């Protein structure tokens, strides 16, 4: 059994969480590959082969990123992780999610805004008849003065523990 963690990230927070989730899965004996969403777009076979697909994205404007919000992020940093594609566009182009085992997380600052990219992703996946093995998990970031973000305290540990939880959920779902 194996998992694929696909993430979108502007400033690196969601990437770090995705890697920690992958570590947690692997430590719990579910080998996990972690792939940035722009690269996942060319790897439909790897996506199809994974027993568990984990999807993570940053919350933008109370939901998933759009070309407009990513352009806004670009004005805050010229060193973005995800430069081409967001999870929304990737999912729209991805065939055959019916019956697939999936889990979703997001990052969010929650301070000045509310909302959740993860809940939007969950809704899209449910419409496509994917099977969620766990509730959407949020990880907290702290907004910096320059408009970028850094992970909140304890979030990497939480992500690793959540990854291990997913391994258990996958075993019961199969
Ligand atoms: C354009 C933009 C809009 C944002 N909107 C929200 C929001 O509505 N709610 C929220 O909690 N955080 C919001 N944030 C903060 C992001 O969630 C935060 O930058 C992100 O989780 C950091 O992850 P990343 O480093 O992987 O991009 C926004 C950030 C950007 C750049």
CA of 62 to the centre of ligand 1 (A): 8
Among 50, 124, 126, 51, which Cα is nearest to 87's?
124
How many domains does one find in the chain? Answer: 1
Return per-residue pLDDT of the chain as tens, 174 residues.
999 999 999 999 999 999 999 999 999 999 999 999 999 988 888 888 999 999 999 999 999 999 999 999 999 999 999 998 999 999 999 988 999 999 999 999 976 667 999 999 999 999 999 999 999 999 999 999 999 999 999 999 999 999 999 999 999 998
Domain that holds residue 112: 3-173
| Geometric angle at alpha carbon 110, from 106 and 111, rounded to 5° | 155
Neighbouring CB atoms inside 10 A of 114's CB total 9
Q: Residue 119: which residues within 8 A CB-CB, separation 6 or more?
A: 106, 136
Any ligand 1 atom below 6 A from CB of 60: yes
Nearest alpha carbon, ligand 1 atom 29: 60
Residue nearest to atom 6 of ligand 1 (CA): 60
Ligand 1 atom 14: residue of nearest CA: 60
CATH code at position 65: 3.40.50.360
């Amino acid at each position: 059994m194996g998992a694929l963690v696909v993430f979108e990230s502007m400033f690196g927070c969601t990437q770090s969480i995705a890697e920690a989730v992958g570590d947690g899965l692997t430590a719990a004996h579910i080998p996990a590959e972690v792939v940035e969403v722009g690269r996942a777009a060319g790897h439909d076979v790897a996506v199809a082969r994974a027993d568990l697909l984990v999807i993570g994205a940053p919350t933008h404007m109370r939901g998933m990123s759009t070309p407009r919000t990513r352009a806004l992020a670009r004005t805050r940093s010229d060193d973005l992780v995800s430069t081409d594609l967001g999870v929304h566009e990737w999912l729209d182009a991805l065939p055959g999610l019916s019956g697939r085992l999936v889990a979703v997380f997001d990052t969010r600052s929650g301070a000045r805004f509310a909302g959740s990219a993860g809940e939007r992703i969950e809704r899209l996946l449910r419409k496509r008849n994917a099977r969620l093995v766990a509730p959407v998990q949020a990880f907290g970031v702290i907004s910096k003065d320059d408009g970028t973000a850094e992970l909140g305290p304890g979030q990497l540990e939480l992500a690793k523990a959540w990854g291990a939880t997913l391994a258990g959920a996958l075993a019961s779902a199969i």
